C-alpha cells in the first residue's frame, strides 16, 4: 500500500521469514557460523534455540540455500504428532512412498534410503522445527534414527530447532543419551538497542530506499521499549508506523506518531504487547550462557544426591551414626567452599549443616524453578498472541 510512496521495491517489514532480509546481529552471525560448521563437519545432532520472533526460521531458510546439492533434506514443521506419523512425514519429505506402510516398514524403507544415499556419495539431513513440542519418547526415537552410521561417518544429520524450553526438556535424565550426541548448540537472543537501529536501516535499504523515512529523536527508544529487541515485534511496529505516516502524507516518524501506533497496537492487538512484564526481572541475553551452565551444574549435583540416597536405601541397615557420616560426606562434597571443621559425630553440627547448605540449595532450586515456569508461561502466551497477530495482519 505504501511502497510507492516511500520508494520501496517491496515492503521492508513484512513478517514472512525472507532470507534476503536476514540481518546478522552478533547473535545471528554466531548461530549461522555454528550451523555452517556443524553441517560441513557432518555433526550428528545440531541444536538451534531462540525465543519466539527472534529469527530462527529466517536463519534456517538462509542456511538451507547454502546446503550442498548432494544433501537430501527433509524438513518437519508439525511436531504434535504420533511416532508413526513423524516417521511417515520424514519419509514423505524425502520423497519415499508411505502408502499402506506400518511403522516397521517405514523405518526399514528409511534405513534403505539412507544407506543408498551414502553409497552414492550423498548425505541426508532432517530439520525438525518447533522441536520443543516433541515428547520425550519422540525425541528418543529421533536419537535412535541417528544410530545408522559407518565407522567414519553418520548416515543421517539431524537439526533440532525450538524455543528455549527445548533446552530444559533435553536436560531431563531420560534424554541424557540424546543430549550427549548434540555436538553443536547455539542460541539466538533478541537484538540490543544499537543492533535494532542497524536492523531497521538494513531492512529499509534492502527494500530499496534506506532514506525513505526520518526518525526523530526518541523514536528508536520508544520502539525498543515496545519490542525489547525481538525482530518480529520490531517489524510489526515499523510496518504500522510507516502505514500511519503514509496515511498522514509525511515521511517523518515523530514521538507522537510512534506512541500513538504503539498505543493502538497494544489496545487493539494485545498480542503485540511485549511479554516482559518487569524489565528488572527479565533475563539478560548475555547472561543466558551463565544461567545454562549453572543449571547444568545444579543438575549434576542433584543426580549425585539421588545416587547416594539410592545407595543408602539399597544397602543393609546401618547405624544412625554411619548414616549421618555418609550424609555429611555428601553435604561436604556439594559445598562450594569449605566449612569450619567440626567433629562428624556432632549431631548438632550435622543439623546446622543441613539447615544452612541444603536449605539454601533448596531455596535456589525453587527460585530457579519458579523463574523457569514463569518464563515458560510467558513464552507460550507470547507464541499464541503473536500467532493470532500474524493471522489478523495477513487477513
Of 181, 133, 137, whose CA–CA distance to 159 is shortest? Answer: 181
- Quickly name the fold that domain 26-188 has: Rossmann fold (3.40.50)
pTM of the predicted protein model: 0.67
Classify residue 336 by burial, with Cβ atoms within 10 Å: 0-12, 13-18, 19+: exposed
Residue 393 has pLDDT above 50, yes or no: yes
* C-alpha to C-alpha distance for 256 and 97, rounded to whole angstroms: 59
In the chain, % of residues over pLDDT 90: 51
* 12-31 average pLDDT score: 93
* 128-148 average pLDDT score: 90
* 336-352 average pLDDT score: 44
- Residue 87: φ, ψ to 5°: -65, -40
Give the residue extent of every domain in the chain: 3-9+192-274, 26-188, 285-382
Contacts of 133 (CB under 8 A, 6+ apart): 79, 80, 162
Residue-averaged pLDDT of the chain = 80
Residue 218 has pLDDT above 60, yes or no: yes
Class of domain 3-9+192-274: mainly alpha
Residue 357 has pLDDT above 70, yes or no: no
- In this prediction, residue 274 has a pLDDT band, given cuts at 50, 70 and 90, of very low
- In this prediction, residue 340 has a pLDDT band, given cuts at 50, 70 and 90, of very low
Residue 168 has pLDDT above 80, yes or no: yes
Residue 358 has pLDDT above 90, yes or no: no
Amino acid at each position: 500500500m505504501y511502497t510507492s510512496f516511500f520508494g520501496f521495491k517491496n515492503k521492508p517489514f513484512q513478517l514472512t521469514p525472507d532470507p534476503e532480509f536476514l540481518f546478522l546481529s552478533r547473535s545471528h552471525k554466531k548461530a549461522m557460523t555454528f550451523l555452517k560448521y556443524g553441517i560441513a563437519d557432518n555433526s550428528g545432532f545440531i541444536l538451534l534455540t531462540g525465543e519466539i520472533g527472534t529469527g530462527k526460521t529466517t536463519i534456517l531458510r538462509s542456511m538451507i540455500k547454502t546446503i550442498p546439492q548432494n544433501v537430501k533434506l527433509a524438513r518437519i514443521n508439525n511436531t504434535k504428532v504420533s511416532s508413526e506419523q513423524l516417521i511417515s512425514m520424514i519419509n514423505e519429505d524425502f520423497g519415499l512412498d508411505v502408502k499402506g506402510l506400518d511403522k516397521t516398514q517405514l523405518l526399514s524403507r528409511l534405513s534403505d534410503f539412507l544407506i543408498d544415499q551414502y553409497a552414492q556419495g550423498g548425505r541426508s539431513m532432517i530439520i525438525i522445527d518447533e522441536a520443543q513440542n516433541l515428547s520425550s519418547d519422540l525425541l528418543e526415537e529421533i536419537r535412535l534414527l541417528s544410530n545408522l552410521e559407518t565407522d567414519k561417518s553418520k548416515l543421517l544429520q539431524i537439526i533440532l530447532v525450538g524455543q528455549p524450553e527445548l533446552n530444559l526438556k533435553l536436560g531431563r535424565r531420560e534424554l541424557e543419551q540424546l543430549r550427549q550426541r548434540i555436538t553443536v548448540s547455539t542460541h539466538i537472543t533478541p537484538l540490543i538497542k544499537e543492533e535494532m537501529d542497524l536492523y531497521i536501516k538494513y531492512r529499509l535499504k534492502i527494500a530499496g530506499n534506506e532514506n525513505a523515512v526520518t526518525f526523530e529523536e526518541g523514536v528508536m527508544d520508544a520502539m525498543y521499549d515496545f519490542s525489547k529487541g525481538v525482530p518480529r515485534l520490531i517489524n510489526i511496529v515499523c510496518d504500522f508506523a510507516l502505514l500511519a505516516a503514509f496515511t498522514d502524507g509525511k515521511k517523518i516518524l515523530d514521538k507522537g506518531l510512534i506512541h500513538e501506533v504503539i498505543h493502538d497496537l497494544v489496545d487493539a492487538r494485545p498480542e503485540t504487547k511485549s511479554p516482559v512484564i518487569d524489565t528488572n526481572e527479565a533475563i539478560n541475553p548475555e547472561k543466558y550462557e551463565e544461567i545454562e551452565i549453572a543449571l547444568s551444574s545444579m543438575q549434576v549435583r542433584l543426580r549425585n544426591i539421588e545416587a547416594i540416597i539410592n545407595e543408602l536405601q539399597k544397602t543393609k541397615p546401618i547405624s544412625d551414626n554411619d548414616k549421618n557420616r555418609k550424609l555429611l560426606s555428601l553435604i561436604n562434597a556439594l559445598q562450594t567452599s569449605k566449612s569450619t571443621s567440626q567433629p562428624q559425630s556432632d549431631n548438632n553440627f550435622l543439623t546446622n549443616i543441613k539447615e544452612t547448605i541444603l536449605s539454601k540449595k533448596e531455596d535456589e532450586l525453587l527460585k530457579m524453578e519458579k523463574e523457569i515456569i514463569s518464563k515458560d508461561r510467558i513464552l507460550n502466551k507470547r507464541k499464541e498472541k503473536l500467532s493470532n497477530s500474524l493471522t489478523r495482519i495477513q487477513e
